[in-house]
Amino acid sequence: MLNCVTLWNTAYLDRALGELRSQGYPVLDADVARLSAYARRHINVHGHYSFRLPDLGGAWRPLRDPDQSDREEQD
């Protein structure tokens, strides 16, 4: 399970950093070096899981808006 979470986080961290850079946000290499793909707070290890892949039409799910706070997204 940890390998799956790490791969998922790595792929989306890379996409998010690329998107931020393309939009002109300052992304410092020193900050990127401190990021970890092992973040797992968003995973419920005691839940039930389905491993059927959703049909995303070959697309990625959308990234969060970097100008929106985490608090706003929860509402």
pLDDT at residue 5 tops 70: yes
Tell which wins on pLDDT, 51 or 6: 6
**Residue 24: domain span:** 1-40
CA–CA distance, 1 with 54 (Å, rounded to integer): 18
pLDDT at residue 72 tops 70: no
Q: Quick check: is 71 in a domain?
A: no
Q: How high is the mean pLDDT of the chain?
A: 81
What was the pLDDT predicted at 26? 93
For the stretch 14-47, pLDDT in tens is 999 999 999 999 999 999 999 888 876 667 667 7
Q: Quick check: is 63 in a domain?
A: no
Q: Quick check: is 34 in a domain?
A: yes
pTM recorded for the entire structure: 0.59
Number of independent structural domains in the chain: 1
Q: 24 vs 5, 19, 33, 47, 69, CA distance in Å?
A: 28, 9, 19, 39, 18
Q: Quick check: is 33 in a domain?
A: yes
**3-state SS, residue 6:** helix
Name the H helices within the chain: 2-22, 29-32, 70-74
Q: Quick check: is 2 in a domain?
A: yes
